[in-house]
A and B are shown apart, each in its own frame.
Chain A
Amino acid sequence: MKNDLYTTATATWTDVCPLESIVPDTGVCARVHGRHVAVFRIGQNQLYAIDNVDPKSGSSVLARGLVGSVGARVVVASPLYKNHFDLATGECLEAPEQSVQVYAARTEGGRVLIALQ
């Protein structure tokens, strides 16, 4: 998947794992430059990346939440308090002040790449 928005000159892509390490419709957590990043694979090829730390609990757990849709939005539900995060924007649906960062994610040659900016 190639997305022009993310392929800017300043982007530094980090290779975190092979695509098949992520079971479709689940997430994993990757360390990217000291940050905990939750990487989700929706269907076969669609990738999303957000902070793994749940602002409400301060625990590094969001990758372990269930993914799904709320209307047209693709979301993950925190496994601790079940608050939902929009995977495309990082917005917390129940409490927008507890939203998280989103990161760029793409595949290349069967590998998953993440960029922090």
Chain B
Amino acid sequence: MKIIVVGHGMVGHKFLEELHHLQLPRLNVTVLCEEPRAAYDRVHLSEFFSGKTAEDLSLVAPGFFEESGFTLRLASRAVAIERRQNTVTTADGEVLSYDKLVLATGSIPFVPSVPGRNRAHCFVYRTIDDLEAMRACGAKSKTGVVVGGGLLGLECAKALRDLGLETHVVEFAPRLMAVQVDDGGGKVLRGKIEALGVHVHTGRNTVEITDGAGARHRMVFADGTWLETDMIVFSAGIRPQDALARQSALALGPRGGVAVDNHCRSADHHIYAIGECASWNEQLFGLVAPGYEMARVAARHLAGQTDAAFEGADMSSKLKLMGVDVASIGDAQGLTPRSRCFQYVDELKQVYKKIVVNESGSRLLGAVLVGNADEFGTLLQMARGGIALPDDPEFLILPSSDGKAQPGLGVDTLPDTAQICSCNNVTKSQICAAVSDGASTIAEMKACTKAGASCGGCVPLVTQVMKAEMAKRGMAVNNHVCEHFVYSRQEIYHLVRVGNIKTFDELLTRHGQGLGCDICKPVAASVLASVWNEFVLTPQLAKLQDSNDYFLGNLQKDGSYSVVPRMPGGEVTPDGLIAVGQVAKKYGLYTKVTGGARVDMFGARLEQLPLIWEELIAAGFESGHAYGKSLRTVKSCVGSAWCRYGVDDSVGLAVELEHRYKGLRAPHKIKFGVSGCTRECAEAQGKDVGVIATGKGWNLYVCGNGGMKPRHAELLASDLSKPELVALIDRFLMFYVRTADRLQRTSTWRENLEGGLDYLKGVLLNDALGLNAELEQQMQAVVDSYQCEWRSAVTDPAVRQRFKSFVNSERPDEHIVFVQERGQIRPARSDERRTDPSLAA
């Protein structure tokens, strides 16, 4: 069967995934994509301005097209359908035939027909190309106006604000988000948005755009007032992209869009339409979840599952607009005859909550939540499942007093068929099945079910369902460190801190059992170091250290160690380099420049380590902590000192940061990067902590990673002064140290953090937990108690005498055997040892 799909957006790609999943034989699928790039996540488009790249936003799994055999044609626009011939014509004039045609052309932005709308520096907000054009213009603008105060308009306002512009929102209706929220909600939302520095103008009808006096444009309103701005973005709603249907005389819906039946078929049964370009039951759906559902229905129907049917979708949604929670469920406006409502308004905290119930108060019909949408998951399930309401439904939205729990909805009461993630249609039973297949973290759950992987609104509920199921299976949400402690790493941290515990023996006696093991001992060692920062090789602490920490070097496969002196920021003097070279030469070590921009020396035997360190210390070096779960390196570019593009002193800052955080023991290693300009030569956005100079200060990115599972770091705060930056990094690192699991890098920690980046921002920027002063204080204590561990080891005779291969012999370990390669040593392979006995040391 020859299938042509027109449009490769979120819904188009979902259709392809579903189709591929069905594994139909003899399928020939061609996808025509008008844009120059494959499907990307339009829901999170504004993140393009807070650090995400087009690649980050891509929805196409690596190898998808190779594996499925589907053909994707980028920058290929369909211009006509010839229904009698079953062909599609592309803009290049090529004619392609089909057995089935799927239209997934989405929407086009609606631009009100205001004179002057086509002036330069006027944009729409739909594609990455649009965003790139906005970014280029934003760099040369001071002010920006978004026309449209709906959902997309506010997203767009966030984008303008992220570009550093003075931002205005101009809305025709008397309130923001007129479709989703009522007057009360609109008022609270407006207060919150204005508090963020965005100017809101409601009830404004733009009649003309002309040249401005103090800026590029002047927008003139019907009431005679005007507003001047350098750029304008129209985000006043969307219209279905149904040009092909109009051209080929396919039946349309009353408000446009291809009219489709329950199987997503148009009037021509060879043609399906899905997503925003389809009109079902005279309704258009501008959300991704119904579009995904249509994609599933169309794919199944094409595969011969004739019972696959689209049954409509409710337009409930939960969003975070500029950090403000906004949720709308079902009949939010209370339009159902004889419905009644409960409202709660807190003008101080700017929270607005309303529920709409039926006449008898037994069923939930709708809800509006602004400022705090914690109840969204519960309320949605109640509205959807038609679950009977408690006797006093007002308590569903009233803040709890006296610590009494709200009359929630235990996840156990949800039926197996309850849809938990509406974007990806994941039910409770599928989440439970994934738990039985071994998923036990939210990241694993996302990977195997896609629950929570699109808009993320359901993540708290997914987590609840997952944990309840794990508890039921006796997996008991077991984040216990090991058999010796029925506590998580985070809990052990608190036991140590609150209980003033300074040794493992005390921890084990008071809170554990058995002898401990190779899991809990390093955890305890790390926690004790983070909290008290004593020398790791004291008699009480030494026995807890993993081999690397015990010998302050990196154990290699043959039993030898590597030695890495610290070179802060990657900066090293010629004398320093010479000293390193001389030491390496004297002890016959293999040398290599590491990815962290310093020199690693390999092949040292245990008994050589103190001698090597002494020589390095004498040359002014100290331990690089390459062996520790601790700060490794702060990579930097040369910055403004040398580079013609640099806008700030990145090396200077890198050196300062490396000195500040060196020696901090953490759940896993930590890497930093500092770039002197936006060209990002230090690759800071691939690091746990990334800092980029902006000209107005420093941008701080966090939780990036290279390695096995690359993750782009996310922007935590912009244009920080150096003291602000340092305080924020202090908090970030200490919060990570306190709350992460063992061996959890910041990236995985962040992936598993309930509430995600917004939660992290709440804690670190708005002090949501009231912890910030304490976090900074703790970090300062660690900084103040730093010591070079090599120096401490070589100067303590009791410690130093442990550094030998044999307790009763000075002879070197004959298992460590080297051969020459490219002018240096490397460990001999087993075959090389066997065939050449003369290689023995």
Q: How far is the CA of A80 from the CA of B546 in the complex (A)?
A: 10
Contact between B547 and A65, CB atoms less than 8 A apart: yes
Q: Which of A17, A24, A79 contacts B547 (CB 8 A)?
A: A79
Residue of B nearest to A76 (CB): B518
Q: Which of B518, B539, B551 contacts A68 (CB 8 A)?
A: B518
Asked if B708 is an interface residue, CB under 8 A from chain A, the answer is no
Contact between A60 and B813, CB atoms less than 8 A apart: yes
Name the interface size band of chain A.
Answer: 35 or more
Q: How far is the CA of A82 from the CA of B482 in the complex (A)?
A: 15
Inter-chain contact total with CB atoms closer than 8 Å: 95
Contact between B809 and A31, CB atoms less than 8 A apart: yes
Contact between A28 and B807, CB atoms less than 8 A apart: yes
Residue of A nearest to B537 (CB): A23
Q: How far is the CA of A80 from the CA of B517 in the complex (A)?
A: 15
Contact between A60 and B815, CB atoms less than 8 A apart: yes
Contact between A80 and B557, CB atoms less than 8 A apart: yes
- A57 and B808 in contact, given A64-B551, A66-B546, A69-B517 (Cβ under 8 angstroms): no
Q: How far is the CA of A61 from the CA of B559 in the complex (A)?
A: 6
Asked if B835 is an interface residue, CB under 8 A from chain A, the answer is no
Q: How far is the CA of A56 from the CA of B521 in the complex (A)?
A: 23
Contact between B806 and A30, CB atoms less than 8 A apart: yes
Residue of B nearest to A79 (CB): B547
Shortest beta-carbon distance from A35 to chain B in Å = 11
Q: How far is the CA of A28 from the CA of B542 in the complex (A)?
A: 13
Chain A residues within an 8 Å CB radius of B542: 23, 26
Chain B residues within an 8 Å CB radius of A17: 807-808
Shortest beta-carbon distance from A60 to chain B in Å = 4
Shortest beta-carbon distance from A114 to chain B in Å = 10
Contact between B483 and A59, CB atoms less than 8 A apart: no
Contact between B518 and A66, CB atoms less than 8 A apart: yes
Interface centre among A17, A36, A75 (most CB of B within 10 A): A36
Shortest beta-carbon distance from B409 to chain A in Å = 41
- A71 and B483 in contact, given A26-B543, A29-B805, A79-B555 (Cβ under 8 angstroms): yes
- A68 and B543 in contact, given A57-B557, A60-B559 (Cβ under 8 angstroms): no
Contact between B558 and A42, CB atoms less than 8 A apart: no
**How would you classify the secondary structure of chain A's contact residues: helix, strand, loop or mixed?**
strand
Shortest beta-carbon distance from B32 to chain A in Å = 52
Asked if B515 is an interface residue, CB under 8 A from chain A, the answer is yes
Residue of A nearest to B814 (CB): A60
Contact between B547 and A23, CB atoms less than 8 A apart: no
Asked if B516 is an interface residue, CB under 8 A from chain A, the answer is yes
Contact between B517 and A68, CB atoms less than 8 A apart: yes
- A21 and B515 in contact, given A60-B815, A64-B547, A70-B483 (Cβ under 8 angstroms): no
Q: Which of A26, A59, A74, A77 contacts B815 (CB 8 A)?
A: A59
Interface string of A8-48 (1 = CB under 8 A from B): 00000000110001111110111100001001001000000
Asked if B522 is an interface residue, CB under 8 A from chain A, the answer is yes
Asked if A67 is an interface residue, CB under 8 A from chain B, the answer is yes
Q: Which of B515, B550, B808 contacts A64 (CB 8 A)?
A: B550
Q: How far is the CA of A58 from the CA of B832 in the complex (A)?
A: 13
Chain A residues within an 8 Å CB radius of B522: 66
Q: Which of B517, B544, B801 contacts A70 (CB 8 A)?
A: B517
Interface centre among B517, B544, B802, B830 (most CB of A within 10 A): B517
Q: Which of B484, B518, B807 contacts A77 (CB 8 A)?
A: B518
Residue of A nearest to B801 (CB): A21
Chain B residues within an 8 Å CB radius of A104: none
- A61 and B555 in contact, given A23-B539, A24-B543 (Cβ under 8 angstroms): yes
Asked if B811 is an interface residue, CB under 8 A from chain A, the answer is yes
Residue of B nearest to A29 (CB): B806
What 5 pairs between A and B have smallest CB-CB spacing?
Answer: A68-B517, A79-B547, A77-B518, A69-B515, A59-B559
Identify 24 residue pairs between A and B in the complex whose beta-carbon atoms are under 8 Å apart, listed by A's number: A17-B808, A21-B801, A23-B543, A26-B542, A26-B543, A29-B807, A30-B806, A36-B815, A58-B815, A59-B559, A59-B816, A60-B813, A61-B555, A61-B559, A64-B551, A64-B555, A66-B517, A68-B517, A68-B521, A69-B517, A70-B483, A77-B518, A79-B547, A80-B555
Given A36-B813, A80-B555, 10 more pairs with CB closer than 8 A: A17-B807, A29-B805, A30-B807, A30-B808, A59-B559, A61-B547, A64-B555, A68-B521, A69-B514, A70-B483
